C-alpha cells in the first residue's frame, strides 16, 4: 500500500512544491522527507494526500528559512525561471503552460500556495486547514492570484466588454 501511494503521489507532491516556488532538487528532497516521516511506527494518517503536502511544504520551508525565522512568510523563489523541469517534462510543456507557470512563480507566496492547493484538487476548506488559515483568506488569495494570472496572460477584460469595444 505504501509503495502504491508513493508511486501515485510522489510526482504530484513534487509538482505541488514546484508550484509553490521550490527548486527541482528542494522539491524532491522535501517530498521524500514527507514519505520518510509517513513511515514512522504507530503513525495513523486519516488524509494522506493532504498530510503529505503539509509535511513536504514544511520540510521545504525549513530548508529555505533560518531556524529563527520559521514563523515567517513562506520563502520566495530565488529564480523565476523554468529550470526546475526535467528534460522530459520541459518537452511536454507547451508555450502557454510555461507562461502560466512563470506567472505562478511570480505571485506572492500566499497566493501561490492557495493556487497550488487548488490545482491539486483540494477544496477551499481543506486548503485553509492545511495552510493554517481561514477559508475566507484562501478565497481572497485565490481571487487575487486568478486576477494576476488573467492580467499576465492578457485575459483580464471580460468577453462582453471586448465585444462592445469591437463594435464601436
| Residue given cell 492547493 in the structure block | 117
Q: How many CA atoms are closer than 13 Å to the CA of 77, on its beta-carbon side?
A: 27
Contact by Cβ (8 Å): 111, 148: yes
Residue-level pLDDT at 160:
47
The CA distance from 101 to 121, in Å, is 17
DSSP 8-state code for residue 125: H
Phi and psi, residue 2, nearest 5°: -65, -40
What mean pLDDT value characterizes the chain? 78
Percent of the chain whose pLDDT exceeds 90? 29
The CA distance from 53 to 143, in Å, is 22
Mean per-residue pLDDT, 82-111: 69
Contact by Cβ (8 Å): 130, 53: yes
Packing angle of the helix pair 95-106, 135-152 (nearest 10 deg)? 130
The per-residue pLDDT for range 4-57, each reduced to its tens digit, is 888 888 988 988 888 888 888 888 999 999 999 988 888 888 888 999 999 998
Residue-level pLDDT at 164:
47
Record the pTM: 0.68
Contact by Cβ (8 Å): 10, 35: yes
Grid cell in block for residue 42:
504507530
Amino acid at each position: 500500500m505504501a509503495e502504491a501511494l508513493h508511486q501515485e503521489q510522489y510526482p504530484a507532491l513534487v509538482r505541488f512544491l514546484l508550484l509553490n516556488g521550490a527548486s527541482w532538487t528542494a522539491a524532491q528532497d522535501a517530498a521524500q522527507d514527507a514519505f520518510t516521516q509517513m513511515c514512522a511506527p504507530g503513525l495513523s494518517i486519516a488524509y494522506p494526500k493532504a498530510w503529505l503536502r503539509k509535511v513536504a511544504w514544511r520540510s521545504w520551508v525549513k530548508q529555505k528559512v533560518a531556524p529563527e525565522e520559521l514563523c515567517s512568510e513562506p520563502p520566495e523563489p530565488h529564480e523565476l525561471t523554468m529550470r526546475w523541469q526535467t528534460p522530459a517534462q520541459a518537452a511536454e510543456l507547451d508555450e502557454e503552460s510555461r507562461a502560466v507557470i512563470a506567472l505562478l512563480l511570480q505571485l506572492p507566496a500566499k497566493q501561490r500556495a492557495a493556487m497550488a492547493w487548488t490545482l491539486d484538487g483540494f477544496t477551499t476548506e481543506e486548503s485553509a486547514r492545511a495552510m493554517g488559515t481561514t477559508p475566507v483568506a484562501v478565497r481572497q488569495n485565490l481571487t487575487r492570484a486568478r486576477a494576476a494570472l488573467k492580467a499576465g496572460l492578457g485575459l483580464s477584460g471580460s468577453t462582453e466588454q471586448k465585444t462592445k469595444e469591437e463594435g464601436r
